[in-house]
Structure 1
Amino acid sequence: MYRIIKRGKTIILDKDRALYIPAYHMMVISDIHLGKSGHFRKEGLQIPKQVSDTDMLRLDKLLEVYNPKTLLVTGDMFHHDHNLDLETFREWRKKYASLEIILVKGNHERLPVLFYEELAIKLFSDYYELGEFCFVHNRKDAPDKGKFIFSGHIHPGILLKGKARQRIKLPCFVFDDTAALLPAFSLFTGFFLIEATKEQEVFAITAQRVLPMGTRRAEI
C-alpha cells in the first residue's frame, strides 16, 4: 500500500486496485463489472465463472483488511442486464449486510432500480459528494464546485519499458492537484494506456505493491 495526502486527508492506495480514506472509513473502487463473465456466457462465449469469483474474493480480502463502514463504487459496478453472476453477488451481499454501499451510476448500469433497492445499494445518477471530495464515473461529468474529484471509466494503464526490449503493461492510479483516476477493479478488463503529463503523479500497480512513477514526489 502507498499513502498520499489530498485536501488534508490521507488516502491509502492498495495493490488490489482500491483506495481507502481512513477519515471517512470508506473504501473506493471503480469498474468492477460484476456479471460481465455471465453476460459473455449468455452470448455463447465460454468465459469461466471463476473470473468474477476471483474479483469477489479480492474484495473480501480488502474488506477484511480495512473493515470500512462504506464501500463506494465510482460506476460500472454491474456490467449489463441480469444473469447468474448477479445471483452470486446477492448471496455475497448477505454476508456484508451492515456495509453501506454507494454506487455512482456508470455507463454500464442497466439494471432496474428495484434491484439496487433490494440489495440496499444507494444509487446516485450523476455524482456523490462527501466533504472536500466528489465521486463520479466520468470526470467530465463532475460539477465545477472546486472539490477533489475521484473517477473511473478510463481503465488507466501504463507501459513500462526495461532493458532488452522488455515491456509490461500495468494498471495504475493517476493523480493531479484536482482529481484522481482509479484503475478498473475487475481483472477481466483491458487497459487504456495513458501518457502522463508533468502535472500528474502515476502509481503503477504490481502484484506486490503500488509503485510511484510520477514526475513529482507524492505527499507522505
Structure 2
Amino acid sequence: MIRIIKRGIELILDQERALYIPYYQLLVISDFHLGKSGHFRKEGLQIPRQVSETDITRLDHLVAMYNPKTLLVTGDMFHHHHNMDLEEFRIWRIENKTLEIILVKGNHDKLASIFYEQLAIKLFSIYYEIGDFCFVHEQKDAPDHGKYIFSGHIHPGILLKGPARQRLKLPCFVFDDNTALLPAFSLFTGLYLIQAKTGQEVFAITANRVTAVATF
C-alpha cells in the first residue's frame, strides 16, 4: 500500500484496487460489477463462479483489515440484472450487517429499488460528498464547486515497457491536484490504457503492491 495526502487528508492506496480514508473510516471502491460473470454464464459463456467469489473474498479481506465504518462504491456495484452472483453477495451482506454501504449509481446499476433496500444500501443518484471530497461515477457528472473529485467508470490502466520489449498492462490510480481516477475493483474487467498528462501522479497495481510509476 501507499499513503498520500490530498487536501490535507491521508489516503491509503491498497493493492486490492481500493482506497481507504482513515479520517472518515471510509473504504472506497469503484466498478465492482457484481453479477457480471453470472450475466455471461446466462449467455452461454463458461465463466467460472469463482470470479465473483474471489471479488467478494477480496472485499471481505479489506473490511476485516481496515474495519471501516462505511463502504462507498462509486458506481457499477452491480452488473445489470439479478443472478446467483448477487445471492452470494446477499449472504456476505448479512454477515456484515453493521457496515454502512453507500452507492453512487453508475450506468450498470439498474436493479429494482427493492433490492437495494433489502441490502440496506444507501443510494445517491449522481454524487456523494464528505468534507472536501466528492465522489461520482463519471467525472463529467461532478458539480463545479471546488471539491476534490474521485471517479471511476473507465477502468484505468497503464502500459509499462521494460527491456527486451517487455510490455505489461496494469490497473492504476491516477491523481492530480483536483481529481482522482480509481481502478476497477473487479478482477473481471478490461483496462482502458490512459495517457498520463502533465501534473498527474500514476500508481500502478501489481499482484502484491502499489507502486508509483511517475509524476508527469
Alignment TM-score, normalising by the size of structure 2: 0.99
Q: In structure 1, the residue corresponding to 2:214 is in which secondary structure?
A: coil
Residue deviations 1:112-134, cap 9 Å, x none?
Answer: 11110110000010100111000
Match in the other structure for 2:73:
73
Amino acid at match of 1:188: F
Equivalent residue number for residue 158 of structure 2: 158
Residues in 1 aligned to 2:117 and 2:189: alpha-carbon distance in whole angstroms: 27
Summarize the alignment of residues 78-89 of structure 1 with structure 2, pairs less than 5 Å apart.
Answer: 78-89=78-89
Q: Counterparts of 2:199 and 2:209 in 1: how far apart (Å)?
A: 23
Instruction: Quote the residue 2:33 is aligned against.
Output: 33
2:215 alignment partner, SS class: coil
Residue type of the alignment partner of 1:151: S
Count of aligned residue pairs for this structure pair = 216
1:90 is matched with 90
Residues in 2 aligned to 1:40 and 1:209: alpha-carbon distance in whole angstroms? 30
Q: CA RMSD in A?
A: 0.7
Question: Please, what TM-score do these two structures have when normalized by structure 1?
Answer: 0.97
Question: Could you tell me how far apart the structure 2 residues matched to 1:214 and 1:198 are?
Answer: 10
Take 1:15 and 1:130, find their aligned partners in 2: how far apart are those partners? 24
Q: Which residue of 2 aligns with 1:113?
A: 113
Give identity over the alignment, percent. 74
Q: Equivalent residue for 1:8? A: 8
Tell me the alpha carbon deviations over residues 173-205 of structure 1, each in whole angstroms, 9 at most, x when there is no partner.
000000100000000000000010111000000
Deviating beyond 3 angstroms after TM superposition, the runs of 4 or more aligned structure 1 residues are none
After TM superposition, the structure 1 = structure 2 runs for residues 56-71 of structure 1, keeping only pairs within 5 Å, are 56-71=56-71
Q: Distance in 2 between matches of 1:101 and 1:124?
A: 11
Matched position secondary structure for 2:77: coil
Structure 2 residues not aligned, in runs of 5+: none
